[in-house]
Structure 1
């Protein structure tokens, strides 16, 4: 009775001897007879009288295999927006298809990998390596902020780059990566908080017209908060300092120390509208500056309304 071999609908059976593919059989049930399958004659072992085939048989699936998960650290990546090196990770899944079974089997046998686990482990390492290289390259060339990358804004572009980058690595093994899915680049929560703070400060600086203007606004807000905590609990110099809060905030930030000293030396009672020396601001000018700070987002709506009301009394 002749030996039979059954090959599933989505498989191809490869006969390998001494590291060489001698032949293959497609889906169906086959009788292993040299009359029907000529290449089997090359597998007959002469020392057995021509009764035994000596060969390895590999069953290779030709369908698309989906949901192959991968992931891991891709190392420190420099964020173009802040210049900080941030530890970055990536995870997701991909689908793969064997397009040339002969190349795959010869390649795996040559590498000493003949099991599914060995093959999948090797392939995942290739995906991670290419992903690491492509993300670092894209951040440098296109100067994508890392926060935008982790938000998923560029996921489609990164996936396309990774698939293209994998092609030369897997073509020689008769493989193709069909698509990627659930692709996500992530960073640690504390690093994300750091980048968000840098990004927020940079945005406020741009809106305020530059770093100096933003620093002035921050100094004004800090002084206002301090006076709000101490307001109504003292007199004399404390009262004078509280009364000067609005003028100080609208003036140059560096005037703070001088104004504070003058306030402590001044007698109780009304405080001059602004310090001398050519740095005085008219109420109209202060209103304009107040409006600019509010427009830039440095002042909240409530802070803007309260300070505007104070200035309107001086007109």
Structure 2
């Protein structure tokens, strides 16, 4: 190997990046005068992407692996430089390493309470916090939209923007869910999953992919929590009247154990006894419920035609409209009241027949007569 070949080998560079900071998202490799020797070795590790930028324009993108930089494996840069054939002279380009691993344990939390309407407590203020994680899914989009030309970029540079995006989406999600405040803890997983789906499009606009989102806690204002504690205490106590009776009995027992002497003690004991007596009377009186007098029910009669119940004074059936009271006539034998259209008496069993009067001469004939016995006219 000649002297020229020796110096040529000294110019070949090794381009690589080992990240010592877990939050670094982009690192620009320092190249003297942006000049890279043709044939330089580029090492891209897992969870990294190397991007070559020529005169402010994104050129070639290299994934994980070991790459030797020649015109054959840099098609875009070769086209931009108008290289028509391979050569070994240096070329100018900027090299950016983009970290594509997941950035986990990114925290979100409500700086101001979320106003929402609750069906049980009315208007309430809700606070919450949790974590999310994301990674760079489109390195070229990220460089164009967010990174720019900085020397390095870490998660703190975009933390505020992402946090506000997450809070905006979750606030809208909580209001749309209309879940009662007391039941929110039952839906942490469901709300987290829906919140992640809501963030997908917003993160994609920056070249990111949101990989997880978790709601760790949702809390109510202190005054609402105190109200809930009081309601819980009332539920534990159960029947308030029984609790008052128990308190009165305990007070009487304590008073009986108090051995106060002298007239002052006797007077205090009498006063305490009177007060306890009133307490007991009120407690036991409150536990007694006055009986409610039964409401008088109107008499009912069944319709003789459709058997529907009707008030006793009604003349016509409310269901079928027929008369409820059939006209009464005396029996021709025993004079008992029977229905006007009855054929037999319900008391004596006599068949009820009526005499036939001749329409022509007015002569009264027997019930079964077919002709008038006086004038012979047909009945």
Q: Normalising by the residue count of structure 2, what TM-score does the alignment of the two structures yield?
A: 0.50
Q: Which residue of 1 aligns with 2:20?
A: none
Is 1:185 the counterpart of 2:217? The answer is: yes
Is 1:107 the counterpart of 2:145? The answer is: yes
Structure having the higher strand fraction is 2
CA gap of 1:139–1:77, structure 2 versus 1, over 3 A, is same
Shift of 1:86: 4.0
Q: Which residue of 2 aligns with 1:262?
A: none
CA gap of 1:57–1:224, structure 2 versus 1, over 3 A, is farther
Q: Which residue of 1 aligns with 2:228?
A: 199
Between the two structures, name the one with larger relative contact order (CA 8 Å, sep ≥ 6): 1
Q: Which residue of 1 aligns with 2:255?
A: 231
**Do 2:203 and 2:209's aligned partners in 1 also have CA atoms closer than 8 Å?**
yes
For the residue of structure 1 that corresponds to 2:70, the secondary structure is: coil
Shift of 1:205: 7.0
The separation in 2 between residues aligned to 1:67 and 1:198, in whole angstroms, is 37
The separation in 1 between residues aligned to 2:115 and 2:242, in whole angstroms, is 30
Give the length in aligned residue pairs: 240
**Do 1:138 and 1:144's aligned partners in 2 also have CA atoms closer than 8 Å?**
no
Q: Which residue of 1 aligns with 2:279?
A: 245
Please tell me the root mean square deviation across aligned C-alpha atoms, in Å.
4.3
CA gap of 1:114–1:75, structure 2 versus 1, over 3 A, is farther
Is 1:58 the counterpart of 2:96? The answer is: yes
The separation in 2 between residues aligned to 1:22 and 1:221, in whole angstroms, is 86
Structure having the higher helix fraction is 1
Higher Rg of the two aligned structures? 2
List alignment gaps of at least 5 residues for structure 1.
254-279, 286-315
Shift of 1:177: 0.8
Q: Which residue of 1 aligns with 2:47?
A: 10
Q: Which residue of 2 aligns with 1:124?
A: 159
Shift of 1:139: 3.9
Is 1:133 the counterpart of 2:168? The answer is: yes
List alignment gaps of at least 5 residues for structure 2.
1-7, 9-38, 259-267, 293-379
Map 1:42-191 onto structure 2 (within 5 A): 42=79, 44=81, 51-63=89-101, 65-78=102-115, 80=118, 81-83=120-122, 85-86=124-125, 88-92=127-131, 94-110=132-148, 115-117=152-154, 120-146=155-181, 148-149=183-184, 152-181=185-214, 183-185=215-217, 187=219, 191=221
Q: Normalising by the residue count of structure 1, what TM-score does the alignment of the two structures yield?
A: 0.59
